[in-house]
Amino acid sequence: CDTVTSVVEVTGAPIIATDDLTPINLSNVNGFTGGVAGDLTVNDTLNGILVNDSDIIINVVDDGGLIGVTIDAEGNLIVPANTQEGVYVIQYQICEVLNPGNCDTAEAIVIVEPDNDGDGIVDALDLDDDNDGILDVDEGDGSVDTDGDGIPDSLDSDSDNDGVPDVIEGNDDNGDGIPDVLPSGNDTDGDGIDDSYDPDNGGDPVDIPDSDGDGIPDYQDTDDDNDGIDTMDEGPGDGDPTTNDALDTNGNGIPDYLDSDTNPCGTPYNILTPDGDGDNDVFYISCIDSLEYQNNSVEIFNRWGNTVYKASGYNNEDVAFRGISNGRANINVDEKLPSGTYYYVIDLGDGSKPKVGWLYINR
């Protein structure tokens, strides 16, 4: 007998992972809902033929900033819900099951699109990106930012920042401060316009109100009734479209911010809550900053008749009572006045009879 030693080298079968691109191999994904971008292994090969997913192990090597991205056993790249819009470059690896050291890597470029209103339709295909019942084309399609807050009107729930949401101002034909319709959550024709705003499913929502007829629709108008008082200063309520808590001084069913006859110039708002939240922080007197009232004077007394504040040229801005004494009589300068009832005398300076009444400070 005799023996011989033979050396046999076994090499892994050629394995090739091929880059995947959107939209060539993959599909765009809705960032709000998340979803499957596509099958990464459909163009990968093992031993010269397309891979069988059961013959390989696949995993994410680098998520490219797309946190939570996964690849399932069939090679599907899955983007999680609530992913920020953007273009992500993901690196993945495939390895042979029989020879785990036999691997290759490739890149997948995934595009995640925004869905601002979360209706399941990406903004690029959605005719009403913020679901306020106003077509994007009427809101400037991203090119108009009425209140200058960095959010275009087509994505802004309160385009003019007046405290009344667009879903109310854009859908209140009868001017009662309550939207004529509310979103139903249904979109039969899938155009991004809720069925409540698109009853014929033809992409034509209801007309946009312009209460004062000044050519500026209410959702972009900071003074909806053109009475010289900003909407946000006329008690528009908490912005909840399902309730009607807007101020209606004369009880005629029309909220003050839509009622031009509610508060004539010189009308004081007698509730003061000087807490710095932007609401009722000053003793507000309608239109007193108008040129015709430039010679006005305002004096405020405590219940003992002491003057706690006095000013000429009152304008609701830099000359305004904020619940702080300006040092009249025996009241110290810059002293925060306590909660309670005070009394005012307003002389508009136009020859009319001075207005007298009370105001209440609530701290």
What tens digit of pLDDT does each residue of 262-317 get?
666 788 888 899 888 877 899 998 878 888 899 999 999 999 988 999 999 999 99
Q: Are residues 99 and 160 in the same domain?
A: no
Is 20's pLDDT higher than 90? yes
pLDDT mean over 316-333: 79
Is 361's pLDDT higher than 80? yes
- pLDDT number for residue 331: 57
Q: Are residues 126 and 245 in the same domain?
A: yes
Q: Are residues 123 and 231 in the same domain?
A: yes
Whether 10 maps to a domain, the answer reads no
Q: Are residues 230 and 257 in the same domain?
A: yes
Taking all residues of the chain, what is their mean pLDDT, rounded to a whole number?
88
- pLDDT number for residue 70: 97
Whether 281 maps to a domain, the answer reads yes
- pLDDT number for residue 265: 74
Whether 9 maps to a domain, the answer reads no
Q: Are residues 226 and 319 in the same domain?
A: no
- pLDDT number for residue 204: 58
Domain finish residue from 261, 289, 314? 261
Could you tell me the CATH number of the domain that includes residue 305? 2.60.40
Q: Are residues 314 and 256 in the same domain?
A: no
Give the span between the Cα atoms of 290 and 329, in whole angstroms. Answer: 30
Q: Are residues 169 and 284 in the same domain?
A: no
- Grade residue 203 by pLDDT with cuts at 50, 70 and 90: low
- Grade residue 139 by pLDDT with cuts at 50, 70 and 90: very high
Asked which of 31-45, 64-78, 271-285 is least confident by mean pLDDT, the reply is: 271-285
- pLDDT number for residue 205: 59
Domain count, the chain: 3
Whether 6 maps to a domain, the answer reads no
Domain finish residue from 238, 261, 284? 261
Q: Are residues 284 and 249 in the same domain?
A: no
Whether 94 maps to a domain, the answer reads yes
Whether 3 maps to a domain, the answer reads no
- pLDDT number for residue 310: 93
Domain span at residue 25 reads: 15-113
- pLDDT number for residue 232: 83
- pLDDT number for residue 206: 61
Asked which of 55-69, 77-91, 156-170 is least confident by mean pLDDT, the reply is: 156-170
Q: 């994505």: which residue's tokens?
A: 155
- Grade residue 23 by pLDDT with cuts at 50, 70 and 90: confident
Q: Are residues 332 and 349 in the same domain?
A: yes
Whether 314 maps to a domain, the answer reads yes
- Grade residue 37 by pLDDT with cuts at 50, 70 and 90: very high
Whether 2 maps to a domain, the answer reads no
Q: Are residues 103 and 25 in the same domain?
A: yes
Q: Are residues 273 and 230 in the same domain?
A: no
Q: Are residues 125 and 250 in the same domain?
A: yes
Give the span between the Cα atoms of 314 and 109, in whole angstroms. Answer: 61
Domain finish residue from 239, 261, 283? 261
Asked which of 218-222, 264-268, 344-348 is least confident by mean pLDDT, the reply is: 264-268
